């Protein structure tokens, strides 16, 4: 289950203020608000936290059959996505970049990827298939290279923004990315977006 979580009232810094609680026995996920940062809590008491000092936001989580946890949202500036002793810094290309992160069933860092242009780019929903491929959707503005690796896969929106769907493999490498010229009334200049994604058995 996923739900939007807003920063706590009176917060002194705009940062990721969500907690991800994994109920492993029930294979369920819960996105709750009020934590000081992005936090993972498992049934054995393990906790993992990541977030920067700027605007970081988590919108969606998904869990695969092995209990690995995938998160998407946006971040600004530099964020260490490794909740453990290591360092896995990502730096946004623009004001807001999409991030996709993967933690194992114990909340340990596996990988994190980002993509974005010079403007506002956001990930709203993430899903994973039976092979561990990761699908993300949201919106982007301007020209964006959706390949988080050494390659280049630029997409350009038809208007000020477009919805996108991207597919990463189980290692976080780009498989493909597509833009969709869809429109949701009421989202203003960012009305060309996608809010949810799902995958079937194929």
When the pLDDT of each residue in the chain is averaged and rounded to a whole number, the result is 77
Global pTM? 0.75
**Could you say which DSSP state residue 9 is in?**
T
pLDDT bracket for residue 5 (50, 70, 90): very low
- Give the pLDDT confidence score for residue 136 in this predicted structure: 98
Residue with the two structure tokens 């690796």: 149
Which of the residue ranges 61-65, 120-124, 198-202 would you say has the lowest mean pLDDT?
198-202
Look at residue 54 and tell me if it is in a domain.
Answer: no
How many Å apart are CA 22 and CA 42, to the nearest integer? 5
**Are 92 and 114 in contact, with CB atoms under 8 Å apart?**
yes
pLDDT interval class at 174 (50, 70, 90) = very high
In a domain, 10, yes or no: no
**Is residue 80 one of the residues assigned to a domain?**
yes
How confident is residue 16, by pLDDT bands cut at 50, 70 and 90? very low
Total domains in the chain come to 1
The answer to whether residue 201 is domain-embedded is: no
Residue 34 lies in a domain: no
CA 49 – CA 34 distance, rounded (Å)? 13
Look up the domain containing 94 and give its range. Answer: 59-190
Lowest-confidence region among 29-38, 112-121, 130-139: 29-38
Mean pLDDT of 106-121: 93
- Among 12-26, 34-48, 94-108, where is mean pLDDT lowest? 12-26
190: DSSP letter:
G
């Amino acid at each position: 289950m996923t739900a939007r979580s807003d920063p706590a009232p009176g917060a002194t810094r705009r940062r990721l203020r969500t907690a991800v609680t994994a109920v492993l026995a029930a294979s369920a996920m819960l996105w709750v608000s009020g934590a000081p940062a992005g936090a993972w809590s498992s049934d054995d008491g393990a906790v993992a936290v990541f977030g920067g000092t700027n605007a970081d936001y988590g919108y969606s989580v998904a869990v695969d059959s092995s209990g690995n946890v995938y998160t998407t949202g946006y971040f600004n500036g530099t964020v260490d996505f490794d909740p453990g002793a290591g360092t896995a810094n990502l730096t946004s290309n623009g004001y807001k970049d999409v991030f996709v992160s993967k933690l194992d069933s114990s909340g340990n860092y596996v990988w994190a990827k980002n993509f974005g242009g010079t403007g506002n780019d956001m990930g709203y929903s993430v899903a994973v298939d039976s092979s561990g491929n990761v699908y993300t959707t949201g919106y982007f503005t301007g020209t964006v290279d959706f390949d988080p690796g050494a390659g280049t896969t630029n997409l350009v929106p038809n208007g000020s923004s477009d919805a996108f769907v991207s597919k990463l493999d189980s290692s976080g490498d780009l498989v493909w990315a597509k833009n969709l010229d869809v429109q949701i009334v009421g989202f203003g200049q960012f009305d060309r977006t996608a809010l949810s994604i799902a995958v079937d058995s194929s």
